[in-house]
């Protein structure tokens, strides 16, 4: 569409203003730059991000349906081919498709069909999209979703009457090790 700007223009503008634009693939640059910002802000070490990929690859060996089932050492993750800056190929998601489904049913239906042992109650749900701060604060962390995740999590926990320490299991998108790391913080699972 030539009658409007590319939806990624604002994202690229932030990245270019903060760290420039390299010839590497754009999406890994976006997340690596968010990681770089985190390192500058909090003193984070690139090994922290690699440990997330190491954990994820280790867990994948327990899932017969996982795309990759090879376990790697932390050193193999750190020494794998560099994609951009500190981000290595084993810290990046492969191109793939996945699916998940949830069957929503009324409480009456669940009881009538004796499904209580398998049922999961949804206490709250919140959706979020970009905030003005996503693009106004020249932050690569916010550009990749930190602020919208944080605000959505706060609203969701409030609606549910729960706090992050009440959560036993969480499933989140691990497109890049950096994304998982900053999402832990945005969800309130650990301090910034």
Q: Which two structure tokens, joined as six digits, stand for 6? A: 């590319």
| pLDDT for res 69 | 87
Mean pLDDT over 96-103 rounds to 82
Inside any domain, residue 1 = no
Sign of CA dihedral 15, 16, 17, 18: positive
Rounded Cα–Cα distance for residues 119 and 150 (Å): 27
Evaluated on CA atoms 138, 143, 145, 151, the torsion sign reads positive
134, part of any domain? yes
Range of the domain at 165: 9-92+101-186
Identify the DSSP state of 94: P
In a domain, 83, yes or no: yes
Q: How many CB atoms lie within 10 A of CB 182?
A: 27
Assigned token pair, 154: 């706060």
Looking at residue 33, its pLDDT comes to 98
Q: Is residue 3 part of a domain?
A: no
User: Is 135 part of a structural domain of the chain?
Assistant: yes
Q: For residue 138, what is the domain's CATH number?
A: 3.40.47.10
pTM > 0.95: yes or no? no
Least trusted range by pLDDT, from 6-10, 17-21, 155-159? 6-10
* 174 assigned to some structural domain: yes
- What pLDDT is recorded for position 180? 96
Q: Give how many domains the chain has, as a whole number.
A: 1
Q: Dump strand ranges (E) for 133-192.
A: none
Residue 122 lies in a domain: yes
2 lies in some domain: no
Q: State the average pLDDT over residues 30-55.
A: 97
């Amino acid at each position: 569409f030539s009658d409007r700007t590319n939806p990624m223009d604002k994202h690229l503008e932030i990245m270019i203003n903060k760290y420039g634009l390299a010839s590497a693939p754009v999406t890994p640059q976006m997340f690596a730059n968010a990681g770089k910002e985190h390192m500058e802000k909090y003193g984070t070490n690139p090994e922290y991000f690699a440990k997330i990929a190491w954990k994820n690859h280790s867990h994948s060996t327990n899932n017969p349906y996982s795309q990759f089932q090879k376990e790697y050492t932390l050193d193999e993750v750190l020494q794998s081919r560099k994609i951009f800056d500190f981000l290595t190929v084993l810290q990046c998601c492969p191109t793939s498709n996945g699916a998940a489904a949830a069957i929503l049913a009324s409480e009456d239906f669940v009881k009538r069909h004796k499904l209580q042992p398998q049922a999961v109650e949804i206490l709250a749900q919140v959706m979020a999209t970009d905030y003005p701060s996503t693009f106004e604060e020249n932050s690569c962390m916010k550009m990749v979703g930190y602020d919208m995740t944080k605000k959505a999590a706060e609203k969701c926990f409030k609606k549910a009457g729960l706090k992050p320490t009440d959560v036993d299991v969480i499933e989140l998108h691990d497109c890049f090790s950096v994304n998982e790391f900053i999402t832990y913080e945005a969800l309130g699972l650990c301090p910034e």
